[in-house]
Amino acid sequence: MDSSFAPFDLVIRGGTIVTANGRFQGDIGVRGSTIARISDTLPSRPHGPREQMRGRREIDAQGRMITPGGVDPHVHLTCSDASDDDPGWVDDFESGSAAALAGGVTTMGNMSFVLPWETLTERLRRESEQADRQAIADVFLHPAVLSPHPAIIAELGPAAARGITSLKFFMSLPSFDSAGGQFQLAMRAAGAAGSITLIHCEDSATIACCTTVLRERHERSLRHFPQSRPVLAEVIATERAISMCEATGAPTYIVHLSSARALEACAAARARGLPVYVETRPLYLHLTSEQYDHDDGALYVAQPPLRQARDRDALWAGLANGTIDTIASDHAPWTRAMKMDPSLDLSRLRPGVADLETMLPMLFSEGVLGGRISAERFVAVSATNAARLFGLYPRKGTIAVGSDADLVMWETHHPRIIRGADMHSRAGHTVYEGRELGAWPHTTIRRGEIVFEAGRVVGKPGSGQVLVRGKTEAPTWDSPSAAPATASAIR
Ligand SMILES: [Zn+2]
């Protein structure tokens, strides 16, 4: 298709190209928005007589790893029309994109809350229009359904046909238990349409019970937050989600799994052949619940709460052995003042943290450079698996001819200290303040365009695309023991 003599728009020369399946040294030639050619480079003859790709722009990547642009399937960005008294998360698609690209994420999956008076179509149209104007990273939208009435369920099939192949709901909300049957019907409809169902697994009844007991003891401050949402609340809900998966046959994706016990339940379900997929979140890999004992403990309020060291260690093992499929930031940005607001207590929370910019540099530094996971697993959990599960593969999530040229070139030679003030999120602070990173993105390329370099986001708002997705697809596993016995339930 391409003549070796015609120049490419961009050539990235001599980097170590990493995919979920392996790594090699090579050159990448980009034409327009896609990868047009990849060639092996033998280190022994980097300037040998063989044909060399020529580009209008060339980047020397010698000594650097190149990974696919991250696919972060779980972020919370504010759509401006959703205004009420509470300003909500402080990033929109523009500032969220800047944080993403500076952190090596080129595709973001946003949770789009369908308000009770809206149709799914209306909500997604509104958010798509805003993303079209603001986004620099590419975007896909998950409808998050609070009230799955029959008209919403009827929209799931047509939405899937238009490329919206996911659905999210929350077991943590009191409304879940009164509508369990409707949620199961929604899951069934989503599965039949080739979509995947994302579930927030914390049991609302257990949370209500624990919170009432704490209130009776006058322990309502955020210091008691972890006791209000114990591991058992997650285990009960995760086991229920697994049973709903079995009852409906629908591909089921557990968001931000936080505990060893919930992970064991998912691993057992997969061993029985159920299409259960697991996401974790950076907070649980890098922090433990002692944070709540400190004066700034409110900064770490997130749902589920931070857990124990043994949970953290189990999650790292799950990332390495394949029982965890994806990592997602669950980017839910608030300013420090909003998080430390003294009026907050167990009945009034601002859960979540800004993590889009720090997630992949932390995972690369602590995981790959720290020897906990291979660079190939890094690619699988940060890009490839999410692209498959959310119907974007092989356009996204890998480095291959014909794929979008979404690439991250890593800086691993100069350690850097994380400072909230340097971050692109409007949160303006980070829970990892002062930590040292051994790796961070040197250059980020989205669909062939350099969008982040020399510490600056240079992509333009409105250049991001809202992606039309295909059906959900099972990730492939490098560890056979961790693979579901059958993937046939994925339709
Ligand atoms: Zn979330």
For the segment 152-166, what is each residue's pLDDT rounded down to a tens digit?
999 999 999 999 999
Distance 1 CA to ligand 1 centre (A): 43
pLDDT at 4: 54
For the chain, give the secondary structure using H, E and C: CCCCCCCEEEEEEEEEEEECCEEEEEEEEEECCEEEEEEECCCCCCCCCCCCCCEEEEEECCCCEEEECEEEEEECCCCCCCCCCCCCCCCCHHHHHHHHHHCCEEEEEEEEEECCCCCHHHHHHHHHHHHHHHCCCEEEEEEEECCCCHHHHHHHHHHHHCCCCEEEEECCCCHHHHCHHHHHHHHHHHHHCCCEEEEECCCHHHHHHHHHHHHHCCCCCHHHHHHHCCHHHHHHHHHHHHHHHHHHCCCEEEEEECCHHHHHHHHHHHHCCCCEEEEECHHHHHCCHHHHHCCCHHHHCCCCCCCCHHHHHHHHHHHHHCCCCEECCCECCCCHHHHCCCCCECCECCCCCCCCCCHHHHHHHHHHHCCCCCHHHHHHHHHHHHHHHCCCCCCCCCCCCCCECCEEEEECCCCEECCHHHCCCCCCCCCCCCCEECCEEEEEEECCEEEEECCEECCCCCCCCECCCCCCCCCCCCCHHHCCCCCCCCC
pLDDT band at 2 (very low <50, low <70, confident <90, very high): very low
**Mean pLDDT value across residues 480-487:** 38
**Mean pLDDT value across residues 390-419:** 97
For the segment 308-317, what is each residue's pLDDT rounded down to a tens digit?
999 999 999 9
Mean pLDDT lowest among 71-85, 194-208, 231-245 = 71-85
The two beta strands, 456-457 and 449-453, are antiparallel
Residue 80 clears pLDDT 90, i.e. is over it: no
∠ at Cα 422 (420, 428), nearest 5°? Answer: 45
Distance 123 CA to ligand 1 centre (A): 17
Mean pLDDT lowest among 116-120, 271-275, 435-439 = 116-120
For the segment 46-69, what is each residue's pLDDT rounded down to a tens digit?
555 457 899 999 999 999 999 999
pTM above 0.85?
yes
Distance 76 CA to ligand 1 centre (A): 6
Distance 200 CA to ligand 1 centre (A): 8
- What is the percent of the chain with per-residue pLDDT over 70, rounded to a whole number? 92
Distance 12 CA to ligand 1 centre (A): 35
Residue type, 17: I
462 phi-psi bin (left φ>0, alpha ψ -120 to 50, beta other): left
- Tokens representing residue 156 in the block: 């799931």
pLDDT band at 6 (very low <50, low <70, confident <90, very high): confident
Distance 45 CA to ligand 1 centre (A): 48
pLDDT at 176: 94
Domains of the chain listed by start with CATH number? 8-67+400-414+437-457 (2.30.40.10), 69-395+469-481 (3.20.20.140)
Q: Using a CB cutoff of 5 Å, list residues around ligand 1, an ion.
A: 330
Distance 74 CA to ligand 1 centre (A): 6
Query: How many CA atoms, within 13 angstroms, populate the side-chain half-sphere of residue 132?
Result: 6
pLDDT band at 476 (very low <50, low <70, confident <90, very high): confident
Distance 300 CA to ligand 1 centre (A): 14
Distance 422 CA to ligand 1 centre (A): 24
CA pair distance 193, 144, nearest whole angstrom: 17
pLDDT band at 35 (very low <50, low <70, confident <90, very high): very high
Place of tokens 């994302």: 198
- What is the percent of the chain with per-residue pLDDT over 90, rounded to a whole number? 90
For the segment 324-339, what is each residue's pLDDT rounded down to a tens digit?
999 999 999 999 999 9
Residue 486 clears pLDDT 50, i.e. is over it: no
pLDDT at 485: 35
CA pair distance 487, 196, nearest whole angstrom: 13
Residue 44 clears pLDDT 70, i.e. is over it: no
Distance 407 CA to ligand 1 centre (A): 25
Distance 56 CA to ligand 1 centre (A): 41
pLDDT band at 85 (very low <50, low <70, confident <90, very high): low
**Mean pLDDT value across residues 437-465:** 98
**Mean pLDDT value across residues 302-306:** 98
For the segment 353-374, what is each residue's pLDDT rounded down to a tens digit?
999 999 999 999 999 999 999 9
**Phi, psi torsion values for 35, nearest 5 degrees:** -80, 120
pLDDT at 40: 81
Residue type, 61: A
Distance 352 CA to ligand 1 centre (A): 8
For the segment 90-145, what is each residue's pLDDT rounded down to a tens digit?
999 999 999 999 999 999 999 999 998 999 999 999 999 999 999 999 999 999 99
Distance 263 CA to ligand 1 centre (A): 18
pLDDT at 52: 84
Residue 438 clears pLDDT 90, i.e. is over it: yes
Distance 155 CA to ligand 1 centre (A): 23
pLDDT at 367: 98
